[in-house]
Structure 1
Amino acid sequence: MASESKLTLSTAFPYAFTFSPSTTAFVVIDMQRDFLDSNGFGSNIDENPAIFPPVCRIVPPLPHFLRVARRLGLHIIYTREGYLPNLADLPAARRLRETKAPTGGQSVNISDERPTGRFSVKGEASHDIIDELKPWPTELIVDKPGKGSFWGTRLHRLLLARGITHLILTGVNTECCVTSMLHDGNDRGYECCILSGCTTGFDENMVASSLDLVWGRDGLLGYVSHGSEFYEYGRQINRTKPTLSDAKRVLEVLPSNAELKDLYRAGLIDPEILMLNVLDRITRYDTINPAVWISRENPEEAIANARKQSTGATFPDESMPPLFGIPFAVKDNIDVKGVVTTAACDRFAYTATATAPAIQHLLDAGAIYVGKLNLDQLATGLTGCRSPYGIPHSYHSEKHASGGSSSGCAVAVAAGLVSFAIGTDTAGSVRIPAAFNGIVGFKPTKGTISARGVVPACQSLDTMGIFARSVEEARQVWYVMDQYDALDPYAKPPESLPTWMVDYRGPGEGGFTFGIPPDSAIELCSAKYQELFRVAVERLQSCGATLVDIDYTPFAQAGDLIYGASLVHERLASIGHDFITENIETLHPTTKTVFQGLLSAKLSAWEVFRDQATQMQCIAAVRKTFDKLDGGIDVLVVPTAPFHPTIQEVLDDPLAVNSKLGLFTHPANVVDLCGVSVNAGWVEEGEARLPFGITFLAGSGCDGKLLDIAAVFERASG
């Protein structure tokens, strides 16, 4: 993958501002009716009508600059200042300062009634962005309870999640909200540039002084550019348009998501045509690997759903929904309304009355649901060999295991049957099958994606995960799913997640630190895996990464807890003790053996509390390992699995093989890490050429950093 070209605003003050479009956000600050409507606050400030016209001067040019930012591929973010209707988030200091100032206060105060609604109150028409700058479906809106954009918002986490390092700021008003955001962004490590031709305020002298302060003292706070160079970049863009031959290639291989959207925009294909092709490809692959699916959308209904998207779907430039027309499937322990959820266990099966919220987000973003995929029964296993619906083999070898428990997900993506798939991960059930099929498997931080509508395997550890063909495609899907769900008891409020200082150079230029397991752990891998892992470590170092010695003990202890202690008994509680005892004779033989062992175990209550205490000790130790302010590492890098078994090897000794496979995946969920498995090489096994995967692990909530670093490795791997 070629590195991205950087752009430079050479006439910026105090010197040139250089940025990469993919890591830069174009921020439109507070361009709301409250401030820019003729009946809003701005037209009445200080009861001086002469103030308002200069403020409106940026309304005509800003849409053109916004169009350029979109064409360049910058992330677009809007902010809106406003408060709850009951003003519970309005600081008393601000309320009293505005209403009880010695001069008599402002002519319009927060929550005052205006023709457009209560001033600066969320939900009012006046709180909306002006029509000339209406956001597109893919663009973010950050509501802020104050002048700055970072306090009390999810902005910093959204920027970190997207790997953003540079901010180009526009909007109103310069002397207050625009420069407040710049100050806060500067403190967090972002390189910030204000486009002076796209910002203004209610006092022209203060506007000029504010901009001078930004770039003074050799850019103490940031940069200022008029914006003409930025605008010129948009005029120079010459995109290569897809051709009819590109469209015909869809018949041979499923294009990348970006290529597919370009084909849609060009009108060379539509979702209905794509769905016909997808269904045909699935039917043909059934003859090769018949155990990938448990159920599929009725072909007529699937085509009808695609046709609905095709009808009247025209989009200017990039304005289409983020996942428009992208086919996907889900593991059959995740609910889709009206579809039977089996968890690969007929006695457990039920018809879902609602779609899991995280899946609904994907549908709302334009993705097309195709069907339900096979899994190890009740999501119990890492091999893919425990389903009464058959054993899917690895996409790369009919003799080798697909990995589990999200077996069908990995095979479907690797085979190009769908663009992405959603599975679940409790002990490695996304990462292992991704590695065994040569694709990307991303397990986000527990509690950041809603787990409602998922059949629990071990509820305190379960999380949905994403299978995709690249880190970038997994990331695009994650953006859509990463939404707080207050009804999920294990959800983490965004403000509770950690943030970190930005290195504007990014990990590719600025470098990063990583740790690896000790030799004693790596030596448990096959000889070929040991060699490929050594090569992967060298590749990371060639990317500018620094290898740091770490204490691996808490990771190993956490891995032992998941099945070697009382924590495994949560599976009985999650699935249902009564269900297991009443139906144990109907379970898959290996699943039956697992639960018989749990039911016969003599467990005392004190052992549960002992193991919970050990878990918390491991979490504390691991948190310190990733604490950058205390010399910690950015990521831990491990082989995803120690070896790749054949299906026969699994069948010969299912429990032992399964236990060995989790050597490097078991710790992550116990100590609340996020992780992503990426392909790192190939192993020749007789006639088969099998993929080898490594997993990057990062601290809870550090998903953005994790994906940034994994993408660096992916690019270096070609």
Structure 2
Amino acid sequence: MASDASRSRDEAKHVTETVAAIVAAHRAGTMTPAQTVARSYQRIREHNDPAIFISLRDEKDALAEAERLADPTLPLYGVPVAVKDNIDVAGLPTTAACPAFSYLPEQDSTVVAKLRAAGAVIIGKTNLDQFATGLVGVRSPYGIPRNPVRGDLVPGGSSSGSAVAVSAGLVPLSLGTDTAGSGRVPAMLNNIVGLKPSLGLISTTGVVPACRTLDCVSIFSLTADDALAALAVMSGPDQSDPYSRDRALAPLASFPAKLKLGIPQTGQLKFFGDREAEEAYGEACKRWQALGANLVEFDLAPFYETARLLYEGPWVAERYLVIRDLLASSPEAVHPVTREITVGGSRPTAADTFSALYRLEALRRVAERSLAQLDAIVLPTAPTVYSTADVLANPIELNSRLGTYTNFVNLLDMCGLALPAAMRPDGAPFGITLLARAGRDAELAGIGRVFHADTGLTLGANSLPQPPLTAAPTQAGSDDITIAVVGAHLSGMALNHELTTLDARLLEEAVTAPDYRLYALDTTPPKPGMLRIEAGAGAAIKLELWAMSPAAFGTFVAAIPPPLSIGTIRLADGRQAKGFIVEPAAIQGAKDISAYGGWRAFMAERAKA
């Protein structure tokens, strides 16, 4: 009899292995989470590159976790995930690619805990440029991951192992970090998507800092839709992270009818003599125009000046702070290039720091004026590509060149989405990055997904075809208010007429985050009460989203009787909506019906009794 692992390998030939396809297969029963996890381990063995992962979970433990998953409504149900080894995973060492720095965390980082709560299964910890200092992926005592797209090229860093793991098909989703471009440059070099979120949107609690004021956790995936789905799960405020921001993630939007994209003024782009990259960027701009975008020139000079502040200014001192004790006690434990860069952080004075902060604030104002009239700007992700041999011979200068279009982004509080754009005639991948003001992450995904689909490029290094592009979900009108209903107001239920008589429109079915308990209240007609509890400690409850005019919403809310009221409901995909919640005092003695997953299932069971 064939093993689960062998069966999963056979079935893998017929699956487009995006996150969305894997979750759909698990829900349909054509694959199980355990089969998918076993497939990842088998592929890691077959790929046979020991430099990708610094540590792997015991396969039996990962399979047991996958087998325990019992809720197919979880947004990442059974999805294998790799995690950059500067992000804590309980029970696996965090090394930051420095054995002398290694420690064993007792608990997951906030972001890993959220992934697990959403149904993801952590596979292992991936290699990186030591202490996340570098864009090349060659500064690690654990080896250099092979670039699976073109073997002589650097894999890109600092999130090298995470990007390679997705491109090679070992996992469909991985976490990196991005301070100066580490979530974007590796995406380009591996022909995958790299999402760099707005600062503070994802908690960095449990992440080894590089520059603490600028760090963010980034996402690698095969499609923009997968990246946004992961972002929705991981985003949200965290009281344990002083840099966390309470920024609600907007829903995925349709491609705008009048898209305005900024491109640099003539002569401002740098390609360092790489004509193929220059031509590929020109072709990408033509593609945007064919999609209906209006390209508007802007001045890139202030952005270049901001980029120079990152390594020529006092922000290097943040990197120095992280490892100064190690540099003092065991300098030989630090990679020579990392040591050379980081030691420079001991020199800036307080006066230097304030001077740089003043200049940065002025540059931010200039950048804001440039961005105010644009939906986004589009730049090459990197100006060129380099071989591993070239980078080892000239490590600092060539690394710096790769950050030409990335180093300024976090200093200016922008979000970014790196997308594959072309395969060059020489076999190297080329990518572009969309950049926008903070908080526009979902808008970039809505724009970028259409561009990526239009390229027709295959996914990663394995020539997987892109899945058909699905339509963006129906959106409420610009003035409408979205309300989540969980009980008697559901379509076809006893009180649904209270919505329809106010001309409310059904938008979609949805599911809450696993943060709630549902109770059957003693009311006429029967109604449930949904109570929010600790994040991840409850159940995911099915509901419907309806759109109402502001006037209708006011009329509707005014008629809601106690113990129900309207609060903010967090959905499984990270969105938020106004919806029904119950006063805690009202659940005393009420039946907990959370296990039904929703009011319809409970009422259907009750009707049979």
1:349 corresponds, among 99, 102, 113, to: 102
- Residue 301 in structure 1 maps to residue 61 in structure 2: yes
In the alignment, is the contact (CA less than 8 A) between 1:393 and 1:402 conserved in 2?
yes
1:699 corresponds, among 423, 427, 437, to: 437
Structure-2 separation of matches of 1:359 and 1:515: 35
- Residue 619 in structure 1 maps to residue 326 in structure 2: no
Aligned match of 1:169: none
Structure-1 separation of matches of 2:10 and 2:46: 18
In the alignment, is the contact (CA less than 8 A) between 1:331 and 1:423 conserved in 2?
yes
Aligned match of 2:11: 249
Per-residue CA shift, 1:84-116, capped at 9, x if unaligned? xxxxxxxxxxxxxxxxxxxxxxxxxxxxxxxxx
- Residue 284 in structure 1 maps to residue 25 in structure 2: no
Residues 568 and 595 from structure 1, CA distance in 2 versus in 1: closer, same or farther, beyond 3 angstroms?
closer
- Residue 590 in structure 1 maps to residue 350 in structure 2: no
Residues 715 and 246 from structure 1, CA distance in 2 versus in 1: closer, same or farther, beyond 3 angstroms?
farther
Structure-1 separation of matches of 2:405 and 2:392: 22
Aligned match of 1:170: none
In the alignment, is the contact (CA less than 8 A) between 2:82 and 2:171 conserved in 1?
yes
In the alignment, is the contact (CA less than 8 A) between 2:19 and 2:173 conserved in 1?
no
* CA-CA distance at 1:300 after TM superposition: 1.6
Structure-1 separation of matches of 2:270 and 2:32: 51
In the alignment, is the contact (CA less than 8 A) between 1:508 and 1:543 conserved in 2?
no
- Residue 608 in structure 1 maps to residue 353 in structure 2: yes
* CA-CA distance at 1:269 after TM superposition: 2.0
Aligned match of 2:284: 536
Structure-2 separation of matches of 1:576 and 1:374: 18
* CA-CA distance at 1:256 after TM superposition: 2.0
* CA-CA distance at 1:494 after TM superposition: 2.5
Per-residue CA shift, 1:390-409, capped at 9, x if unaligned? 01121112211000000000
Q: AA paired with 1:514? A: L
Per-residue CA shift, 1:121-141, capped at 9, x if unaligned? xxxxxxxxxxxxxxxxxxxxx
Q: After TM superposition, list the pairs within 5 Å mapping 1:311-460 onto structure 2.
A: 313=70, 315=72, 320-460=73-213
Gaps of 5+ in 1: 1-243
Gaps of 5+ in 2: 1-5, 457-609
Residues 378 and 516 from structure 1, CA distance in 2 versus in 1: closer, same or farther, beyond 3 angstroms?
same
Give the number of the structure whose residues are more often helix, by fraction. Answer: 1
Aligned match of 2:446: 708
Residues 604 and 680 from structure 1, CA distance in 2 versus in 1: closer, same or farther, beyond 3 angstroms?
same
Residues 515 and 297 from structure 1, CA distance in 2 versus in 1: closer, same or farther, beyond 3 angstroms?
same
* CA-CA distance at 1:593 after TM superposition: 1.9
Aligned match of 2:409: 668
Q: Give the secondary-structure state (helix, strand or coil) at the position aligned to 1:302.
A: helix
Q: AA paired with 2:379? A: V
Structure-1 separation of matches of 2:158 and 2:350: 29
In the alignment, is the contact (CA less than 8 A) between 1:247 and 1:269 conserved in 2?
no
- Residue 258 in structure 1 maps to residue 20 in structure 2: yes
Structure-1 separation of matches of 2:292 and 2:8: 37
2:260 corresponds, among 498, 506, 513, to: 513
In the alignment, is the contact (CA less than 8 A) between 1:247 and 1:268 conserved in 2?
no
Aligned match of 2:375: 634
Structure-1 separation of matches of 2:306 and 2:313: 10
Aligned match of 2:309: 561
Residues 623 and 263 from structure 1, CA distance in 2 versus in 1: closer, same or farther, beyond 3 angstroms?
same
Q: AA paired with 1:625? A: S
In the alignment, is the contact (CA less than 8 A) between 1:461 and 1:670 conserved in 2?
yes
Structure-1 separation of matches of 2:313 and 2:127: 28
* CA-CA distance at 1:507 after TM superposition: 5.6
* CA-CA distance at 1:280 after TM superposition: 0.7
1:463 corresponds, among 199, 216, 230, to: 216
Q: TM-score, normalised by structure 2?
A: 0.71
Q: After TM superposition, list the pairs within 5 Å mapping 1:130-279 onto structure 2.
A: 248-250=10-12, 255-279=17-41
Q: After TM superposition, list the pairs within 5 Å mapping 1:542-581 onto structure 2.
A: 542-573=290-321, 575-581=322-328
Structure-2 separation of matches of 1:302 and 1:251: 23
Q: AA paired with 1:643? A: T
In the alignment, is the contact (CA less than 8 A) between 1:393 and 1:647 conserved in 2?
no
Q: Give the secondary-structure state (helix, strand or coil) at the position aligned to 2:50.
A: coil
Structure-1 separation of matches of 2:7 and 2:159: 35
Structure-2 separation of matches of 1:253 and 1:594: 44
Structure-1 separation of matches of 2:22 and 2:50: 27
* CA-CA distance at 1:701 after TM superposition: 1.1
Aligned match of 1:652: 393
Structure-1 separation of matches of 2:345 and 2:27: 55
Q: Give the secondary-structure state (helix, strand or coil) at the position aligned to 2:431.
A: strand
Residues 377 and 509 from structure 1, CA distance in 2 versus in 1: closer, same or farther, beyond 3 angstroms?
closer
In the alignment, is the contact (CA less than 8 A) between 2:317 and 2:342 conserved in 1?
no
Q: Give the secondary-structure state (helix, strand or coil) at the position aligned to 1:715.
A: helix
Structure-1 separation of matches of 2:138 and 2:129: 6
Percentage identity across paired residues of the two chains: 38
Q: Which one scores higher on RCO, CA 8 angstroms, separation ≥ 6?
A: 2
Residues 328 and 713 from structure 1, CA distance in 2 versus in 1: closer, same or farther, beyond 3 angstroms?
same
In the alignment, is the contact (CA less than 8 A) between 1:330 and 1:421 conserved in 2?
yes
Q: AA paired with 1:249? A: E
Q: Give the secondary-structure state (helix, strand or coil) at the position aligned to 2:31.
A: coil
Q: Give the secondary-structure state (helix, strand or coil) at the position aligned to 2:391.
A: helix
* CA-CA distance at 1:253 after TM superposition: 6.5
Per-residue CA shift, 1:448-471, capped at 9, x if unaligned? 100100000000110000000000
Structure-2 separation of matches of 1:543 and 1:567: 39
Residues 254 and 542 from structure 1, CA distance in 2 versus in 1: closer, same or farther, beyond 3 angstroms?
closer
> 4+ residue runs of structure 1 moved beyond 6 angstroms?
244-247
In the alignment, is the contact (CA less than 8 A) between 1:637 and 1:694 conserved in 2?
yes
Q: AA paired with 1:515? A: G
RMSD: 2.1
Structure-2 separation of matches of 1:604 and 1:494: 34
Structure-2 separation of matches of 1:299 and 1:245: 17
Residues 509 and 408 from structure 1, CA distance in 2 versus in 1: closer, same or farther, beyond 3 angstroms?
same
Residues 246 and 270 from structure 1, CA distance in 2 versus in 1: closer, same or farther, beyond 3 angstroms?
closer
1:522 corresponds, among 248, 256, 269, to: 269
* CA-CA distance at 1:578 after TM superposition: 2.2
In the alignment, is the contact (CA less than 8 A) between 2:220 and 2:227 conserved in 1?
yes
In the alignment, is the contact (CA less than 8 A) between 2:156 and 2:185 conserved in 1?
yes
Q: Give the secondary-structure state (helix, strand or coil) at the position aligned to 1:488.
A: coil
Q: TM-score, normalised by structure 1?
A: 0.60
* CA-CA distance at 1:261 after TM superposition: 2.4
* CA-CA distance at 1:619 after TM superposition: 1.6
In the alignment, is the contact (CA less than 8 A) between 2:15 and 2:21 conserved in 1?
no
* CA-CA distance at 1:647 after TM superposition: 0.2
* CA-CA distance at 1:248 after TM superposition: 3.6
Q: Give the secondary-structure state (helix, strand or coil) at the position aligned to 1:670.
A: coil
In the alignment, is the contact (CA less than 8 A) between 1:440 and 1:467 conserved in 2?
yes
Structure-1 separation of matches of 2:229 and 2:318: 33
Structure-1 separation of matches of 2:408 and 2:297: 18
Aligned match of 1:475: 228
Residues 583 and 543 from structure 1, CA distance in 2 versus in 1: closer, same or farther, beyond 3 angstroms?
same
Structure-2 separation of matches of 1:410 and 1:658: 17
Q: Give the secondary-structure state (helix, strand or coil) at the position aligned to 1:375.
A: coil
* CA-CA distance at 1:299 after TM superposition: 1.5
